[in-house]
Structure 1
């Protein structure tokens, strides 16, 4: 069953129905309820002959901290649904879940639901869920859902309700994050997404939580570039596990005491996937092998951080100092006596760079280091082992006197589009859907424009005192570049990833549904449309008469810029 979230769910991020509660249970007065009632009316003293004081105190404590019933959820990943004729992998997976874990409260899918992120694949996956499974399914995007998508998060959100979730139960919350990057393979959790995560963790008030996203963190392959910011945040809260996918294998390892668990890729009917039983005190991981028809207990994690030996608080920061041409690293409470690996900007350093290792200090010789910011990490005792201690820090090498840094700012989201310059302003589109205008001299804010929930991949274009850009939400937007005020918006057929251009008297732009459009710059009226076989991602070239562009259908086109008439089409081979 797939449920489109209500408005409350969208904004409060979901408290699903709890299948643990049995609505058919007859209404009976439990002795805890009875004691609570008489205590609340001041009659408890009259019952000392029936309930001794110690028993009454014990019952009161039980009532204050009731032991939750056991409940289950299932974690799968990487079904890679496509539009082919074969049975959908999601359907096969869910059929096995129904058989093996009928007691589960809900299911989470940590991404790569589709092979390409195309709308027809998303539709097929959603249909498989609706037709096969009668429990809530919470899905997030993986790199396959984002890398070749024609409509980005817009298409995913329209079918699966959201791109991040909070599923809160009595004694545990599962929080799912968006770590996808549109049109890219790797993973990244935007600063705005981490702010959202911390807001949700604060609301839990110390309740145990699991965090889920697609790419496994702190992996030797460095799929994710947000490990430092993420684990510095998680260290301050009662987070017992991170759930992921991507590698198509069931695995588990620890990072700074937090368990990382990946599910197998259920695109294969042989894949081993995960099921969690949440008891009053522990989260117990089981793995399901459909081929062997086996369920095996893997590990158990206490919900109480003290029982895990965890102290919630700031993560020790790696300190760095440059002394006589060598970088000295130290962490206040870290010991490297058992060994250490070092990574610089996600790349494992050659051991010859380790000049000296002491239990508390590390000396590095970093040759030919260009100016700029670097992330450095130490991993003890070694990268890739089952229990790792990661510490992060930053190295900054100042530019020489010939290069002057005028200013530097951090925006709440990543940037994948080219900025535009208008007079004394630089205008920047971000992955949060916000367009920022900053003063080129100081970096101070001039104005902001929120285009919606989806990333701006279409770079802003300035022409005759107007600014134009496209949105994933299927619109072309025109703003006053001086003030950021909206002049017009024009709905188009398909998400806009490509950057527009002016050709003659028209604004030209391609869409995710394969339309090349000519719009009137003054009001957004569509003058002509030309259809191709797939996504148009790039800006066309213009020679004064014709437009030249390629599309994801493997063809290259020449079209008259004034009329949209086809000049020629060539099949391209690679």
Structure 2
């Protein structure tokens, strides 16, 4: 439940390089330095054992702590570095019992940025810091959070201090912007809070939850879980502004960014014989002087704060409406009961759109109907909010489904892997391979067995597992060799694996210095089948049959996409903002093309082709895309031949006989001439699209959106022909099509077989 924090001793931070920082993490204080140990570790007997220096004397013991968030340390910005140094010096002077950092510690998780952050913390304060990562530690992290955990310890974790149970949560996702807890994280939390008993608990994490916040896709499951435990406060960051919400009988404080000269001071006091946490915002001036403003008071007594939970009954959809009945726990304290369809279209952001008021019927019930006429068939959620006369509210979410029509895509089957299915699926014939962030790799067949009755198979189709194996986490897809006998897949355990497709046994494996966070490509180079992939800043070319290294090349930056190869040259993007071509036979760098003119490493990275499926086009062109443009470059020279504006970095493009299909991250799909970039049609999907690329079957393009919908477009015109909500989970995995079956994975770990019309 709770666990000790290691102490970083004075003088242990040295000036060290990008690679040596990872190798030397133990020298910074070990696995628990400045952070937490594993959630499985035994609880210390006291807060002093947890390194806070405060005895666990119960709710009456004096207690004060600081909260920081969004420090965004980065070595090029010396002004910010000195500001952070000033902030932490002020905190040290205030002598807190502990300090919580709610994430976005750095700009992009760079080794030098962690070094900069560590350098601004006074040695005496270091043992009292507790961290959780933000999306800036996960989105562009070449180490897949490995360095973070070596410096600050595993997540999630908890510790007890003076009668307060403190829990650090981590819903961040490697290579992604929004958050998700997942089943294992929530299971751990339920067990942790159960062990804490009736101690009041405080949570801290990067993203604020509930209300208008939709940064964590399964936050509704977190709120349901918390209803059974005395959680009284949440501290969060991410939004760089201050918001206080009284939600579900707890108080959430979203804080201003510390990089803007703020921190928060929290002190436990007793008011009217009940313990409370008083919260102040503290501004630190350049001369070190402070100005304090009280923000809120958080009750931590057993009753919590605000309006109580409500019984909610959601009916089955009938026609264009769904019935809702709500009975609040304190009817006389209710100011309003409202409902709406969960804004699934919101991707890692806020939503303040309108709610529907439910009328009161009798003394205890509110009920009414919700219009679902514009909602596509499939899986959905309904939100209910009960607002009290004191401005607090209690919200619950309920799932419902709208049955598909005869001409809609329809789910045939589903299977679940541990973690998330984030990487693209791969297919060879009817054999499909899926990998998960939890380390599962499963191969299954979806075609009708030769000895099976055709009608019986149509009535009860199901995938047949060919084999399963366990590796480190996989965040990108796999690739088959030309004969289909081997599948190549990268892992965060620093290996590229070549697995026998008959039984999943390793044919060979190659160890890399960094986690493999790219999608491998199999190409013929000089008559030899070669697998091309990246890990960290390095591009690798290995013999597909043996794993022997043919060559390696320096990419000068992080690349998490997939390279392209025409047999003569290998083309790749890079986190330094450039696209590169290498001699396919030797790995010698041939040319580079700057996709942006940004001036800092962070900006060159995020505005560059760091996570792009580089694609060969006809006419001797290669396509490299960023969040600003799609660039068609001459393969021989790197000269730009045409450009289309838009954020095309993430969704893989598709070359068809009719033209090139591009989809930007805001769901604008278009077909263009691959030789000139001239547009044939443009369609607004109205939904975000990330990493999950379109697939083509017949005359229809099937587009999986980041928010779980599958959209069908006519290839000829771009007209939307179908919409179905496959899941309420985020989807980043490119599907595959086998005959009339589309197979798709999502961030809940589910792989689905969808019958296409």
Judge same fold: TM > 0.5, yes or no: yes
Are 2:564 and 1:541 aligned? Answer: yes
Q: Displacement of 1:109 after TM fit?
A: 0.6
Question: Residues 572 and 307 of structure 1: is their aligned pair in 2 closer, same or farther, counting only changes over 3 Å?
Answer: closer
Question: Residues 143 and 9 of structure 1: is their aligned pair in 2 closer, same or farther, counting only changes over 3 Å?
Answer: closer
2:490 aligned partner: 470
2:88 aligned partner: 94
Are 2:519 and 1:499 aligned? Answer: yes
- Is the helix fraction higher in 1 or 2? 1
Question: Residues 540 and 320 of structure 1: is their aligned pair in 2 closer, same or farther, counting only changes over 3 Å?
Answer: same
Q: Please give the residue correspondences for 1:154-169 in structure 2 after superposition, counting only pairs within 5 Å.
A: 154-169=146-161
Q: Displacement of 1:444 after TM fit?
A: 6.9
Report SS of the residue matched to 1:407. strand
Q: 2:134 aligns with which of 123, 142, 147?
A: 142
Question: Residues 447 and 320 of structure 1: is their aligned pair in 2 closer, same or farther, counting only changes over 3 Å?
Answer: farther
Paired with 1:95 and 1:141, the residues of 2 have a C-alpha distance of 22
Question: Residues 427 and 323 of structure 1: is their aligned pair in 2 closer, same or farther, counting only changes over 3 Å?
Answer: same
Q: Displacement of 1:417 after TM fit?
A: 0.9
Question: Residues 354 and 249 of structure 1: is their aligned pair in 2 closer, same or farther, counting only changes over 3 Å?
Answer: closer
Contact map agreement 1:76 1:273 (CA 8 A) in 2: yes
2:395 aligned partner: 390
Q: Please give the residue correspondences for 1:120-519 in structure 2 after superposition, counting only pairs within 5 Å.
A: 120-129=112-121, 131=123, 133-269=125-261, 271-277=262-268, 282-291=275-284, 293-295=290-292, 297-306=294-303, 308=305, 316-333=311-328, 338-346=336-344, 360-381=366-387, 387-402=392-407, 403-421=409-427, 425-438=431-444, 440=446, 441-442=461-462, 447-452=467-472, 455-463=473-481, 464-504=484-524, 505-513=529-537, 515-519=538-542
- Is the strand fraction higher in 1 or 2? 2
Contact map agreement 1:342 1:349 (CA 8 A) in 2: no
Question: Residues 483 and 281 of structure 1: is their aligned pair in 2 closer, same or farther, counting only changes over 3 Å?
Answer: farther
Report SS of the residue matched to 1:144. helix
2:76 aligned partner: 84
Report SS of the residue matched to 2:531. strand
Moved more, 87-96 or 166-175: 87-96
Question: Residues 128 and 415 of structure 1: is their aligned pair in 2 closer, same or farther, counting only changes over 3 Å?
Answer: farther
1:17 aligned partner: 51
Paired with 2:431 and 2:187, the residues of 1 have a C-alpha distance of 27
Question: Residues 401 and 300 of structure 1: is their aligned pair in 2 closer, same or farther, counting only changes over 3 Å?
Answer: same
Moved more, 182-191 or 240-249: 182-191
Contact map agreement 1:506 1:518 (CA 8 A) in 2: yes
Q: Displacement of 1:406 after TM fit?
A: 1.1
Report SS of the residue matched to 1:338. strand
Q: Displacement of 1:302 after TM fit?
A: 4.4
1:28 aligned partner: none
Paired with 2:259 and 2:400, the residues of 1 have a C-alpha distance of 42
Question: Residues 125 and 473 of structure 1: is their aligned pair in 2 closer, same or farther, counting only changes over 3 Å?
Answer: farther
Residues 295-319 of structure 1, C-alpha deviations (whole Å, 9 max, x = no match): 45544444442365898xx974551
Residues 111-165 of structure 1, C-alpha deviations (whole Å, 9 max, x = no match): 0000112222122213333647243212111122222222221221122222322
Paired with 1:298 and 1:555, the residues of 2 have a C-alpha distance of 46
Contact map agreement 1:420 1:428 (CA 8 A) in 2: yes
Are 2:595 and 1:572 aligned? Answer: yes
Structure ID, larger Rg: 1
Question: Residues 109 and 465 of structure 1: is their aligned pair in 2 closer, same or farther, counting only changes over 3 Å?
Answer: same
Q: Displacement of 1:364 after TM fit?
A: 1.5
Contact map agreement 1:475 1:496 (CA 8 A) in 2: yes
Q: Displacement of 1:401 after TM fit?
A: 2.9
Residues 83-126 of structure 1, C-alpha deviations (whole Å, 9 max, x = no match): 115152442321111112x1x22211110000112222122213
Are 2:30 and 1:4 aligned? Answer: yes
Q: Displacement of 1:251 after TM fit?
A: 2.8
Paired with 2:504 and 2:252, the residues of 1 have a C-alpha distance of 44
Moved more, 284-293 or 197-206: 284-293
Q: 2:547 aligns with which of 498, 513, 524?
A: 524
Moved more, 295-304 or 162-171: 295-304
Contact map agreement 1:355 1:365 (CA 8 A) in 2: no
Q: Displacement of 1:327 after TM fit?
A: 1.2
Q: Displacement of 1:221 after TM fit?
A: 4.5
- TM-score, normalising length: structure 2: 0.63
Q: Displacement of 1:443 after TM fit?
A: 5.0
Moved more, 13-22 or 391-400: 13-22
Moved more, 480-489 or 203-212: 480-489
Q: Displacement of 1:426 after TM fit?
A: 3.5
Report SS of the residue matched to 2:127. coil
Contact map agreement 1:250 1:272 (CA 8 A) in 2: no
Contact map agreement 1:250 1:273 (CA 8 A) in 2: no
Contact map agreement 2:87 2:263 (CA 8 A) in 1: no
Report SS of the residue matched to 1:331. strand
Report SS of the residue matched to 1:96. helix
Contact map agreement 1:76 1:274 (CA 8 A) in 2: no
Contact map agreement 1:253 1:386 (CA 8 A) in 2: no
- TM-score, normalising length: structure 1: 0.81
Report SS of the residue matched to 1:74. strand
Paired with 2:62 and 2:428, the residues of 1 have a C-alpha distance of 60
Question: Residues 246 and 423 of structure 1: is their aligned pair in 2 closer, same or farther, counting only changes over 3 Å?
Answer: same
Q: Displacement of 1:564 after TM fit?
A: 1.5
Gaps of 5+ in 2: 1-6, 9-28, 45-49, 447-460, 597-628, 630-757
Gaps of 5+ in 1: 23-64
Question: Residues 127 and 489 of structure 1: is their aligned pair in 2 closer, same or farther, counting only changes over 3 Å?
Answer: farther
Paired with 1:318 and 1:117, the residues of 2 have a C-alpha distance of 45
The RMSD of aligned alpha carbons is 3.3
* Count of aligned residue pairs for this structure pair: 522
Contact map agreement 2:132 2:170 (CA 8 A) in 1: yes
Paired with 2:202 and 2:42, the residues of 1 have a C-alpha distance of 15
Report SS of the residue matched to 1:252. strand
Question: Residues 349 and 297 of structure 1: is their aligned pair in 2 closer, same or farther, counting only changes over 3 Å?
Answer: closer
Residues 506-532 of structure 1, C-alpha deviations (whole Å, 9 max, x = no match): 21101222x111123344332211112
Moved more, 106-115 or 65-74: 65-74
